[in-house]
């Protein structure tokens, strides 16, 4: 296929529409995956911080975490690292 034929093919409405549909589908799926991954991450953080807040001083000491460190972590909102 020479350059002129390729350019003509790229400029045809049907070819452009197919590319546009595939591109939209790809980015739509990608966006959905990113949103689900982010929601899963946030849910995990919230669960871990809740579990951390339920530990007593002895359990925290076993893990090498002070009450101050625990309190600093558990007051964070779910989207904070």
Return the half-sphere exposure (C-beta side, CA atoms, 13 A cut-off) of residue 75.
6
- In order of 28, 31, 69, the CA distances from 34 in angstroms are 10, 5, 30
Overall number of domains in the chain = 1
* pLDDT tens, position by position, 62-71: 999 999 999 9
* 76 or 31, greater pLDDT: 76
For the ranges 2-6, 36-40, 47-51, the lowest mean pLDDT is seen at 2-6
Instruction: Look at residue 67 and tell me if it is in a domain.
Output: yes
Residue 58 sits in which domain range? 3-74
CA 1 – CA 3 distance, rounded (Å) = 7
Look at residue 79 and tell me if it is in a domain: no
Q: Kindly give the residue spans of alpha helices, DSSP state H, lying in the chain.
A: 3-11, 13-53, 57-63, 67-74
Average pLDDT over residues 46-63: 96
Kindly report whether the global pTM for this prediction surpasses the value 0.85: no
CA-based max dimension of the chain: 76
Q: Residue 79: pLDDT above 90? A: no
Residue 80 within a domain: no
């Amino acid at each position: 296929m020479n350059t002129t034929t390729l350019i003509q093919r790229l400029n045809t409405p049907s070819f452009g529409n197919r590319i546009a549909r595939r591109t939209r589908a790809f980015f739509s799926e990608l966006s959905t995956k990113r949103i689900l991954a982010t929601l899963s991450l946030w849910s995990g953080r919230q669960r871990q911080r809740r579990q951390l807040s339920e530990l007593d001083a002895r359990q925290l000491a076993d893990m090498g975490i002070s009450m101050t460190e625990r309190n600093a972590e558990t007051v964070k909102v779910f989207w904070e690292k």
